[in-house]
Amino acid sequence: MFAVVRTGGKQYRVAAGDKIVVEKLGGEAGDSVTLSDVLLAGDGSDLKSVAGLTVAAEIVAQAKGEKVIVFKKRRRHNYRRKNGHRQNHTILKIVSIGDAA
């Protein structure tokens, strides 16, 4: 069975046992998380009702993404600014897809 869930403004297609990298969620490694914003669910080519459906996940780790370089320059004004950014991520392992219980 698979589901499409929305978290952090993005959508992810998940199945039991999958690992996904999402925007930072609160919690420590080993904590359980419930993703309740399920947009679509199905089994093979059959679609299921998403009323009351939730996805249970476990936090594997809190990590940082790759460094992104932000470079600003204005021509002929001797203006240069270099800045870096590393986004915080949460790595989730999908435990099960099922009803809210």
Question: Can you give the pLDDT of all 101 residues of the chain as single tens digits?
Answer: 999 999 999 999 999 999 999 999 999 999 999 999 999 999 989 998 999 999 999 999 999 999 999 999 999 999 999 999 999 999 999 999 986 54
Distance CA 92, CA 94 (A): 6
Q: Residue 10 has which token pair?
A: 């993005």
Q: What percent of the chain has pLDDT over 90?
A: 89
Q: Which pLDDT belongs to residue 11? A: 97
Quick one: how far is CA 40 from the chain centroid? 16
Beta carbons of 52 and 62 less than 8 angstroms apart: no
Per the structure, the complete domain to which residue 41 belongs is given by 2-97
Q: How many domains does the chain have?
A: 1
Q: Which pLDDT belongs to residue 100? A: 55
Q: Which pLDDT belongs to residue 58? A: 97
